[in-house]
Structure 1
Amino acid sequence: MPRILSIDYGIKRTGIAVTDELQIIASGLTTIPSETTIAFLKEYFLKEKVVKVLIGEPKQMNGLPSESTAIIEKFVSKFKTAFPDMPLERSDERFTSKMAFQTMIDSGLKKKQRQNKALVDEIAATIMLQDYLTRKMI
């Protein structure tokens, strides 16, 4: 069974998570510089079968687009050009970074380790993907 991949795209860094082949568990894959995301995905899609990609959709508390929406929309456009046949779904990413940071605290990471913003991005992508899998099963 092919995998589902999620992307927490940011100005500087992009967190990437992927499911197992049975699409049951989401795991962090990596965090990469945002300008390398399309190239990374091209290489990854050659190695692994991916059936769908989730890209975070930043929203404010009131549901309106956040200030980073324009940056992500530009990336979504590049993604669709590079991968026109890849199914793409947007996913609400409100609170994923806060949840990722709390996950780091709960798992006992020391303060120095919690300052690793790349790890926060990867965990945020994982939370977004696991939430999607949970909703899909209901």
Structure 2
Amino acid sequence: MRVMAFDYGTKRIGIAVTDPLQMIANGLDTIHPNQIIDFLKRYLQTEQVETFVVGDPKQMDGTPSQSAPHVKGFVNLLKKTFPDIPVQMFDERFTSKMASAAILQSGINKKARQNKALVDNISATILLQGWLERKAYL
């Protein structure tokens, strides 16, 4: 079964998913928050997801960021809509910066680098890969 991660934002949600063996994280899509439940219902008709991982927005000192209440609402929606799939939070500090750096290093053109949906998708992938690495050491 797969693990799915979300980099939640009020305008876009970056989504990443593991391979069935849960070894590699891959970017899946970027969805508007109003479309996420329908997207997940369609996805779950063909794929099995064991766990949802949601980026936990924190400031540098570890306190919740301004987006934390929005993320909490999203987590509650996931739990209510998909009660059989556990939701885990994972620290998302630096994922957007790491995603932007990865895009810059990839050599793609400036216009493509400014695509915020791409940043969100890569952020979700970095988040999920970090979760997988932490899980491997537990």
Paired residue total: 137
What SS does structure 1 have at the residue aligned with 2:85? Answer: coil
Q: Deviations over 1:27-67 (max 9, x none)?
A: 00000111111111111111101111101110000000000
Instruction: Output the CA distance in 2 between the equivalents of 1:120 and 1:6.
Output: 14
Aligned residue in 2 for 1:70: 69
Aligned residue in 2 for 1:39: 38
What SS does structure 1 have at the residue aligned with 2:10? Answer: coil
1:27 maps to 2:12: no
The residue correspondences of 1:41-56 to structure 2 (distance < 5 A) are 41-56=40-55
| Mapped contact 2:16–2:25 kept (Cα < 8 A) | yes
Aligned residue in 1 for 2:110: 111
Instruction: Output the CA distance in 1 between the equivalents of 2:68 and 2:38.
Output: 22
Sequence identity of aligned pairs in percent?
53
| Mapped contact 2:79–2:86 kept (Cα < 8 A) | no
What SS does structure 1 have at the residue aligned with 2:102? Answer: helix
Instruction: Output the CA distance in 1 between the equivalents of 2:59 and 2:77.
Output: 24
- Structure 1, unmatched stretches of 5+, are none
What SS does structure 1 have at the residue aligned with 2:43? Answer: helix
Instruction: Output the CA distance in 2 between the equivalents of 1:23 and 1:79.
Output: 21
Instruction: Output the CA distance in 2 between the equivalents of 1:78 and 1:132.
Output: 21
Instruction: Output the CA distance in 1 between the equivalents of 2:95 and 2:21.
Output: 24
What SS does structure 1 have at the residue aligned with 2:6? Answer: strand
Q: Report deviation, 1:86.
A: 0.6
Q: Report deviation, 1:9.
A: 0.9
Instruction: Output the CA distance in 1 between the equivalents of 2:54 and 2:45.
Output: 19
Aligned residue in 1 for 2:93: 94
Instruction: Output the CA distance in 2 between the equivalents of 1:125 and 1:38.
Output: 17
Aligned residue in 2 for 1:136: 135
Q: Deviations over 1:66-117 (max 9, x none)?
A: 0001111111111111011111100111110110000001111111111000
Aligned residue in 2 for 1:127: 126
Backbone CA RMSD of aligned residues: 0.7
